[in-house]
């Protein structure tokens, strides 16, 4: 069992315990005349509906959460690491760590096609978004650029071309023009 499965099981166990406590509290709060013939009729339908809804949600969540993209390529060594420092209203990108006191980036970034790449994304001022778009203007992947944190985003680009980076979080007056690009080849 890996860490993520362990966390998922902990969450499911906590969910079952909370549901049981909630149900027992509900049962014990019924008045005696309601208890004698179970739950009151109009409430009974709603109760079964909620139970059915809960079961459906638990099944959907336990199937979809483990497939979330957060863990993608976590077991692979990135072929390239790109440092990204966002700042009103620029993205500095470099293959070396960026000095926050004197931020500067490379003129162009070239990423190898079909190999895992890691972006280490942070912000030097406010929260920004880091959204990668392909040449058809479709969002490929994204993370947040947050001051004081470095978010690692791993991705494999299977299609060569020019990719654009747009800020996805309103960060000030010039936010719509906050963009840059890189090349995959």
In the complex, the smallest distance separating the C-beta of residue 68 from Cu ion, rounded to whole angstroms, is 25
Q: Is 122 exposed, middle or buried (0-12, 13-18, 19+ CB in 10 A)?
A: buried
Sites of contact with Cu ion (CB under 5 A): 167, 171, 175, 178
In the complex, the smallest distance separating the C-beta of residue 153 from Cu ion, rounded to whole angstroms, is 17
90 vs 155 by CB, closer to Cu ion:
90
In the complex, the smallest distance separating the C-beta of residue 134 from Cu ion, rounded to whole angstroms, is 20
4 vs 175 by CB, closer to Cu ion:
175
CA trace torsion 44, 50, 53, 54 (10° rounding): -130
93 vs 167 by CB, closer to Cu ion:
167
128 vs 156 by CB, closer to Cu ion:
128
Q: Is the CB of residue 131 less than 8 Å from the CB of residue 168?
A: yes
Rg from Cα positions in the chain: 24
CA distance 175 to 148: 20
In the complex, the smallest distance separating the C-beta of residue 145 from Cu ion, rounded to whole angstroms, is 9
């Amino acid at each position: 069992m890996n860490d993520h499965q362990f966390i998922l099981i902990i969450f499911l166990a906590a969910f079952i315990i909370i549901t049981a406590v909630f149900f027992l509290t509900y049962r014990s709060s019924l008045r005696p005349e309601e208890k004698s013939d179970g739950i009151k009729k109009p409430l009974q339908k709603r109760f079964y509906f909620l139970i059915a809804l809960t079961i459906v949600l638990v099944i959907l969540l336990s199937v979809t959460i483990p497939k979330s993209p957060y863990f993608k390529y976590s077991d692979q060594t990135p072929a390239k690491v790109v440092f990204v420092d966002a700042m009103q209203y620029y993205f500095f990108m470099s293959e070396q760590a960026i000095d926050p006191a004197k931020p500067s980036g490379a003129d162009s970034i070239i990423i190898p096609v079909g190999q895992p790449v890691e972006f280490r994304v942070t912000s030097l001022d406010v929260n920004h978004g880091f959204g990668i778009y392909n040449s058809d203007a479709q969002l490929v992947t994204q993370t947040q650029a947050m001051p004081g944190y470095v978010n690692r985003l791993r991705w494999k680009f299977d299609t060569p071309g020019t990719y654009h980076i747009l800020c996805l979080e309103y960060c000030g007056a010039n936010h719509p023009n906050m963009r840059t690009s890189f090349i995959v080849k």
